[in-house]
A and B are shown apart, each in its own frame.
Chain A
Amino acid sequence: MKPLKQSRLVQKLLLRHRSNNRLWAALIALFAGTTLLLIAVMIWWNFNLILSGTHDNDSLGSTFLTIGKQVTDQSMGKKGASLFTPKEISTIENAPQVQDVGMLVSNRFPVYASLSVANGFSTDMFLEAVPDRFMDKQPNGWSWEEGNTQVPIILSSDFLNLYNYGFALSQNLPQLSQTTIQALAFDITIGRGLYTEQYTGRVVGFSDRISSVLVPESFIEHGNKTFAPNAPIAPSRLILKVKDPSDKRFAEFLQMNSYTTNTEQLRWNKMRGVVDAVATGTGLLALLLMGIGTLVFILFIELTIAKAEASLSLLLQMGYSPRYLGMFMLRRFVPLIVITLMASAIIALILQEVIAAKGKALNVTLPDLPGWPVWVTLAASAGVLLAFVCRSIFRAIK
């Protein structure tokens, strides 16, 4: 007579009653729950990357904000009420999410610009300067030293849009492209009365970040020193580098101190709320489904063991150890769990690649592989599931 394999005999005794339909139902429930859980984490993680401006997503424009003091009826008449004091600047530096603070310094001297090619076009204007590290781009020629007659200017894109779509159309003036503007040379006169200085201004670039007419800091410093040596140098506007402008605490800080900013730049605040709600909703649903999947799987194991109870009890009486029988059951069930979780991980990998590709089309850089929160979630759910399955098997064998 042929010797028979022990594991085959034990399998015949313990897993003979296993229903394949129930097994499939349990595995599908588990797969659906895990996949949904990973998707919820991926939604949260990807939006977090976008909102916090990591992964070169500064193009969303949310990491730099220009703030000023709100002009109220009370502060209207007070000179210097809209200026930031050093104490206020230091408070802002320590505000939630703020990484860097720069001063927007404006001219304390008259500036007069005229365009010789368009006869008669002339205007009083203002200039501002920010530290170079806050600029979204630094075009060629962005520097000025005393003695230079050429002054480079960076113009806000918004101003050009206002001219092209508002002013030019209403006044029947020609619309101007960026290259045309850059080709023009302005005559700039600074100072008043007898003592003035003449410069040639040239627009060298356009900024999406700062709504102003920017010149190099050195030029403003020179003008202020020359024409208004006694005027305060306190800034009226600040530019902030903010890690996560969607953080509610940051928005509350601005509101509490009556600082104004471009509210559109805080649009991510609302978006964050929506994303959080979606991710939480999906997460709760996923946890529920995962819980049901785990429950179905454990009930399936317990039912299998309950059906084989007589054989199990007799095997123990024969001298089979509870540990051997427990490990035998685990070896049958754990591979199924591992395969199911791996299938969910593959779905997550594919999905992240699709998300990254879609993001690229929208100019948003996202990684091709799911990040650590997704893997941590997968590992945690695997751990919890295995703990439940082990507990259920060893408890049933006792």
Chain B
Amino acid sequence: MRLSLEHIVPIPLKDKINEYNSRVWNQQLTFNSGERVFIQAPSGTGKTTLVHFLYGLRKDYEGKIHWSAFKMHEINREQLSQLRASSVSVIFQDMRLFPELTTWENIEVKRRLTNTVSEYDAEKWLDKLGVKHKADSPASKLSYGEQQRVAIVRALVQPFEWLIMDEPFSHLDYANRQRAIALIDEVATMNRAGLLLADLDDNDYFTYSRKLLL
């Protein structure tokens, strides 16, 4: 699946865009399937805004975003849900777990949507990230670090061609981050999926094909 950005300009940041010297805003960009892209975004430059545009959560922008045949400015709600369920997965900066569900229920509510990943794999991945023992704990009782690891596993229990990540390791220590990176790399490779990671500082978590400044 190819991702194209055609001169995207967020309307709230329209007046400030020219000051940034951005390599993303108001640019013509095409990301081929399987690419690994890092977007470095200093605070206040619209990193989360971009993730939300790409995932179809916000539409207050000028320009066009295409996920292959899906045109985000024309997409209907059913097509959007289809795109999210089977092509584009996301790890939100603020995790967005269901606080009233347990860790395992949070994973299952996503895994059951497509039934493409076995519960064995899901359980194994939770174990790899060290949160299997929290399977029956309500998400609201988990620490930020634990919530972030559950959110990472949840993003992986669906078929995807692109994984969008917004500061995905912000609450993880070095060891946990390395385990998370290894798991994401493994599953993305298995899916032959592209990665798009947005973060504040430059990093080499993955072997990026492109690094862009927002």
Q: Mark A303-324, 1 if CB is under 8 A from B, else 0.
A: 0000000010011111111111
Known: A319-B86, A319-B158, A322-B77. A9 touches B100 (CB 8 A): no
> Are A9 and B78 closer than 8 Å at their CB atoms?
no
> Are A314 and B119 closer than 8 Å at their CB atoms?
no
> Are A319 and B135 closer than 8 Å at their CB atoms?
no
Q: Mark B94-130, 1 if CB is under 8 A from A, else 0.
A: 0010101100110011101100000100010000000
Judge if B84 is at the interface, Cβ distance under 8 Å: yes
- Secondary structure at chain B's binding surface: helix, strand, loop or mixed? helix
B89: nearest chain-A partner, CB-CB: A319
B108: nearest chain-A partner, CB-CB: A4
Most buried by B among A3, A13, A311, A315: A3
Residues of chain A with a CB closer than 8 A to B98's CB: 13, 311, 314
Judge if B140 is at the interface, Cβ distance under 8 Å: no
* A78 CB to nearest chain B CB (Å): 85
Tier of interface size on chain A: 20 to 34
> Are A398 and B77 closer than 8 Å at their CB atoms?
yes
> Are B100 and A16 closer than 8 Å at their CB atoms?
yes
> Are A318 and B82 closer than 8 Å at their CB atoms?
no
Cross-chain contact of A1 among B86, B90, B110, B119 (Cβ < 8 A) = B119
A2: nearest chain-B partner, CB-CB: B119
Cross-chain contact of B113 among A3, A5, A314, A318 (Cβ < 8 A) = A318
Known: A16-B100, A318-B84. A6 touches B112 (CB 8 A): yes
Separation of A320 and B109 alpha carbons in the complex (Å): 10
Separation of A398 and B108 alpha carbons in the complex (Å): 24
1-58 of chain A: CB within 8 A of chain B: 1-6, 9-10, 12-13, 16
B132: nearest chain-A partner, CB-CB: A1
Known: A311-B98, A319-B81. A10 touches B158 (CB 8 A): no
Separation of A315 and B85 alpha carbons in the complex (Å): 11
Q: How many positions in chain B have a CB within 8 Å of any CB in the partner chain?
A: 26
Residues of chain A with a CB closer than 8 A to B108's CB: 3-4, 6, 9
Most buried by A among B78, B85, B101, B112: B112
> Are A322 and B109 closer than 8 Å at their CB atoms?
no
> Are B78 and A321 closer than 8 Å at their CB atoms?
yes
Residues of chain B with a CB closer than 8 A to A16's CB: 100
Separation of A398 and B90 alpha carbons in the complex (Å): 21
Known: A1-B119, A3-B108. A319 touches B96 (CB 8 A): no
Judge if B57 is at the interface, Cβ distance under 8 Å: yes
A398: nearest chain-B partner, CB-CB: B77
156-196 of chain A: CB within 8 A of chain B: none
B154: nearest chain-A partner, CB-CB: A318
Separation of A317 and B151 alpha carbons in the complex (Å): 13
> Are B100 and A13 closer than 8 Å at their CB atoms?
yes
Cross-chain contact of B81 among A4, A314, A316, A398 (Cβ < 8 A) = A316
* A99 CB to nearest chain B CB (Å): 60
Cross-chain contact of A319 among B57, B100, B113, B123 (Cβ < 8 A) = B113
Residues of chain A with a CB closer than 8 A to B135's CB: 1
> Are B101 and A321 closer than 8 Å at their CB atoms?
no
Residues of chain B with a CB closer than 8 A to A311's CB: 98, 100
Top 8 closest pairs, chain A to chain B, by CB: A319-B85, A319-B84, A6-B112, A321-B81, A4-B108, A9-B109, A3-B119, A322-B77
A: residues with CB less than 8 A from B are: 1-6, 9-10, 12-13, 16, 311, 314-324, 398
Can you list 27 A-B contacts (CB < 8 A)?
A1-B104, A1-B123, A1-B135, A3-B108, A3-B119, A4-B104, A4-B105, A4-B112, A6-B113, A9-B105, A9-B109, A10-B109, A13-B100, A311-B98, A317-B84, A318-B85, A318-B109, A318-B113, A319-B81, A319-B84, A319-B110, A319-B158, A320-B113, A321-B82, A321-B85, A322-B78, A323-B78
B: residues with CB less than 8 A from A are: 55, 57, 77-78, 81-86, 90, 96, 98, 100-101, 104-105, 108-110, 112-113, 119, 123, 135, 158
